[in-house]
Chain A
């Protein structure tokens, strides 16, 4: 639930809504005739990068704090803002040339909408962000979070060719391009990816695409002993094979399919040509024994999506990247917690066995290494960089997992 600060009077909210409608037209205001009194903060939906830039320029003049949204459902945590801005009305394909394996889309398009479009051409964007298919592509890039496919394909930053950003100076910045190799100028595309709204509203995005794999399978091993399962996962991670995903989950709520009673599961996904997938799965089964489950095709995809959706919905959540070899000791904490409190149905931990990205879901960050201190020099760079795009400080400078 988003609430404006208590001292903001109702007139302010009405005035902001009025100004937004005057800048964007009535269709630029999500709820033009609110019935609640006082109404919630305005949700602006600019229809183009130019409109977004004009709105942000006005917001900067007014001194409104602005929160760019992903799917437009609102931030995960209450935050005092005067204006929410959603890219949802900037959806759809801007340019798609299947022969080039590249595509430009509006940032308001949902990942699942894009996936349907790509499937018709036998292509794929191999990203599985927290939230699964229901995230907007703008939110996905702004959050920049790697998902289960990160070890094989990288995160959003590695699939990005270019993007259009409306910044709080009111500029439309067309960054990067739509070719797969491009080093013309400084890489503001990578800077924007994962910036969580701090630099502006992402309006359009160009991605590189991949051929949709002919075969997609997920194997699941389940067990009650976290240490044993961690060791099994480690052995699989040492195989020199390009699995699409390899994760360990400790999960007792949420939406993962029933793991046949096991508290822990190691999941391995292999995609590619049929002989290649078969070769990878045979090697995995030889190393780890017969899995409890083998999901094929759509079921394999759905499993990945369900896990990603579960992760997206979990609150709170904490992430750290550690060395994959450190994962075993890191998982001891959650193992003890789960073994010690069988009544605890909520907490979960998921770790990528190859990148070392570990997430505690619906739990505090106990057991994870402490966050490092950000050096003074780095802090200075950050404030300088934020001022380049947002001189009046109206955008969220630092954000905790705010996209939904």
Chain B
């Protein structure tokens, strides 16, 4: 059997976003299986009533609806293992789910999958202050860990925008980032150990690369595997000491290009801010029209948040240098803050941007792509041009320091013409980012949504190797089916050579 023809660089016409994708009527599990699951986790921890399943048919990518066959809520690692064994033995697909905040559809229950929700696994098992480590269950909420660590002068660095809701198990699955990963890195930098239930129900502690044991970095491989390699049931993470000082500035510009120049100059001067975030005029207007109004003039074309943290010595000098750069780059106003309350005010607009957009359009497609930082100005100009050509409102909020863009396309799914334009514009935006040397997702993951785009950035032999790696963990392909890789590369597909 020969390899499949390399996928073309283009995306099929039905790439994504039908108005509302609903799979066929939900699959019901046989009573005997439900009894078996209930005997394992308790009667109340298995949901099969269609009305109660509604909550689980969608995640943060709300365009899709896939009702699960059932939802199981295990209360311990052992129960996760037992549940997975039951499902594995019955030959049923399943998908792990944290808080359901993911933006790429990674937790959607395709193929009538059973949802294994980590909601009850919400305990911090150990907070080892002296060694700056924590052991947690996967359902612990990101911000909850930082709150628990705060009295000891510690915090958990990765801070996705959904950190008040998203779980650490979900963060591990998605290799989540956040505004501060410019300086501190993403989730894979902080996960030091993982206990996982493999797709066949075996519970193992994954190794890191160790020359004496001859082990590979399976922890590094598992982080970001989007629930396709198993379910993390215990996570050990490194905590950081809270920085001595933090300084934040908000600079307002009359053009996105000026803000982009300021970012490049700050980096070029050898400064390393903890965060460099930009929002554009469409976003500012949405924020200022909402209950989250942050007091930014509505005619501002770009607002740049720059934050420095670290030891007190030197912070003021760095801040002053960055302020100077913003002014020379054309900022019409620079606001600075050093107290927590003032900082919160400067961050307010940025942090509430997504919430505010709900006011101006019924639907929002949160895009996610990364480009080399130096290409930001031209890519932003192209995105603006694409939005104009398709008569769409595009609101940009992005991690400028990382080159991680979030062009948000605003639309109404009940307008088929607009929907078709969103689809075309979105595809063009991806193509522009790839042509600039970037990638299709910086932090939201591939999930279901970006699957058709993956062959645009990942060459055929690598997709083939990824499919083979998936098959090592999950030969039957029942652990989070239909995610990340195009079908032809998933286990079971004829094109993936069987690894004996």
Q: Which residues of A contact B (CB under 8 A)?
A: 97-102, 122, 143-145, 154, 157-158, 167, 171-175, 177-188, 190-191, 193-196, 198, 210-212, 214, 238, 240-242, 272-280, 318-319, 323-325, 354, 356, 371-372, 374-375, 377-378, 381-382, 384-385, 387-389, 391, 397-401
Q: Are B441 and A184 in contact (CB under 8 A)?
A: yes
CA distance A182 to B271 in the complex (A): 23
Which of B211, B241, B440: most chain A Cβ within 10 A? B211
Is there a chain A Cβ closer than 8 Å to B112's Cβ?
Answer: no
User: Is the pair B442, A182 in contact by a Cβ cutoff of 8 Å?
Assistant: yes
Q: Known: A374-B207, A387-B499. Contact between A181 and B221, CB under 8 A?
A: no
Chain B residues contacting A241 (CB-CB under 8 Å) are 241, 244, 311
Counting contact residues on chain B (CB < 8 A from A), the size range is 35 or more
- How close is A340's CB to chain B, nearest CB, in angstroms? 26
**B435 part of interface (Cβ distance < 8 Å):** no
* A167: B residues at CB distance < 8 A: 465
Residue on B with the closest CB to A171? B461
- A273 with B318, Cβ < 8 A, contacts A154-B189, A319-B212, A388-B465 known: yes
Is the Cβ of A375 less than 8 Å from the Cβ of B205? yes
- Assuming the contacts A101-B373, A275-B317, asked whether A183 and B198 have C-beta atoms less than 8 A apart, the reply is no
Q: B residues within 8 A CB of A187?
A: 175, 188, 220-221, 223-225
- Which parts of B471-500 form the interface with A (CB within 8 Å)? 472-473, 484-485, 499-500
Query: From residue 400 to 454 of chain B, which have CB atoms closer than 8 A to chain A?
Result: 402-404, 437-446, 450, 454
Assembled-state Cα–Cα distance A178/B457 (Å): 12
In angstroms, Cα B188 to Cα A342, docked, is 44
Residue of A98, A212, A384 with most partner-chain B CB within 10 A: A384
- Find the B residue at minimum CB distance from A320: B212
Given A100-B403, A177-B457, A385-B216, CB of A182 within 8 Å of CB of B439: yes
Query: Closest chain A residue to B433 by CB distance?
Result: A179
- On chain A, the residues within 8 Å of B450 by CB distance are 184
Contact between chains at B500 and A387 (CB < 8 Å): yes
A385, B214: Cβ atoms under 8 Å?
Answer: no
Known: A183-B444, A183-B445, A194-B209. A378 touches B204 (CB 8 A): yes
Chain A residue nearest in CB terms to B315: A276
Assuming the contacts A187-B175, A211-B270, A323-B128, asked whether A157 and B217 have C-beta atoms less than 8 A apart, the reply is: yes
B244 and A181 contacting across the interface, CB-CB below 8 Å: no
Expressed in whole angstroms, the minimum distance between the Cβ of B429 and any Cβ of chain A is 15
Kindly provide the distance from the CB of B60 to the nearest chain A CB, expressed in whole angstroms.
15
Q: How far is the CA of A13 from the CA of B466 in the complex (A)?
A: 36
**Which residues of chain B from 192 to 227 have any CB-CB distance to chain A below 8 Å in the complex?**
198, 202, 204-218, 220-221, 223-225
A97→B128 CA distance, assembly (Å) = 41
- Of chain A, the residue at the smallest CB distance from B212 is A371
B466 and A188 contact, CB distance less than 8 A: yes
The residues of A that contact B174 with a CB separation of less than 8 Å are 183
On whether the beta carbons of B462 and A188 are closer than 8 Å, the reply is yes
Q: A101 to B182: give the CA distance in the assembly, Å.
A: 11
Select the residue from A179, A354, A389 with max chain B CB neighbours within 10 A. A179
Could you name 28 residue pairs across A and B whose Cβ atoms are closer than 8 Å?
A100-B373, A101-B373, A154-B185, A171-B465, A179-B439, A180-B370, A184-B439, A186-B225, A186-B228, A186-B470, A190-B223, A193-B209, A193-B217, A194-B208, A242-B243, A276-B310, A276-B311, A318-B212, A319-B212, A323-B131, A323-B133, A325-B130, A381-B198, A382-B215, A382-B216, A391-B500, A399-B211, A399-B214
Closest to B321 in A: A273
Check if B213 sits within 8 Å of A173, measured CB to CB: no
Nearest residue (CB) in B for A385 is B472
Q: Of all chain A residues, which has the CB nearest B225?
A: A186
Say if the beta carbon of B91 comes within 8 Å of chain A.
no
Interface residue from A154, A240, A382, A398 paired with B244 (Cβ < 8 Å):
A240
Measured CB to CB, the nearest residue on chain A to B214 is: A398
Given contacts A187-B221, A388-B469, 20 further A-B pairs with CB under 8 A are: A144-B217, A177-B438, A180-B373, A181-B399, A181-B443, A182-B439, A188-B462, A194-B208, A212-B270, A242-B311, A272-B310, A273-B313, A279-B312, A354-B132, A356-B131, A374-B214, A375-B204, A381-B198, A382-B214, A385-B216
Task: Select which of A182, A185, A274 is within 8 A of B454 by beta carbon.
Answer: A185
Query: Which residues of chain B have C-beta atoms less than 8 A from A276's C-beta?
Result: 310-311, 313-315
Question: A325 to B129, alpha carbons, bound, how many Å?
Answer: 10
Q: What A residues does B212 contact at CB under 8 A?
A: 318-319, 371, 400-401
On whether A99 and B373 interact (CB within 8 A), knowing A173-B461, A187-B220, A275-B317, the answer reads yes
With A184-B440, A193-B217 known to touch, is A401 a contact of B211 (CB < 8 Å)? yes
Contact (Cβ within 8 A) A377 B198: yes
Assess the B457–A184 pair: CB atoms within 8 A: yes
Instruction: Assess whether A319 is in contact with B211, with CB atoms less than 8 Å apart.
Output: yes
Choose among A195, A242, A389 the residue with the greatest number of B CB atoms under 10 Å from its CB: A242
CA distance A399 to B216 in the complex (A): 11
* Distance in angstroms between the alpha carbons of A318 and B311 in the assembled complex: 35
Residues B446 and A378 in contact, CB atoms below 8 Å apart: no
Return A96 CB to nearest CB of chain B, in Å. 12
List the A residue with the shortest CB-CB distance to B271. A211
Closest 7 CB pairs of A and B: A194-B209, A398-B214, A190-B220, A279-B313, A240-B241, A211-B270, A384-B472
Digit string of B6-47 for contact with A (CB within 8 Å is 1, else 0)? 000000000000000000000000000000000000000000
Closest CB-CB distance, A303 to chain B, in whole Å? 22
Is B463 engaged at the interface, CB distance under 8 Å to the other chain?
yes
B268 contacts chain A at the CB level, 8 A cutoff: yes
Residue of A nearest to B181 (CB): A181
Interface status of B361 (Cβ within 8 A of chain A): no
Q: Which of A98, A183, A372 contacts B224 (CB 8 A)?
A: A183
Contacts of A389 in B (CB 8 A): 465
Q: Which residue of B lies closest to A145 (CB)?
A: B211
Given the known A-B contacts A174-B459, A177-B457, are A185 and B209 also in contact in the complex, defined by CB atoms under 8 Å?
no
Q: Find the A residue at minimum CB distance from B450.
A: A184
Which of B182, B271, B372 contacts A178, CB < 8 Å? B372
Of the candidates B205, B214, B466, B473, the one having the most CB atoms from chain A within 10 angstroms of its own CB is: B214
Q: Contact at B216–A99, with CB atoms within 8 Å? A: no
**A186 near B314: Cβ-Cβ < 8 Å:** no
Decide: A182 near B370, CB < 8 A? Known: A144-B217, A272-B314.
yes
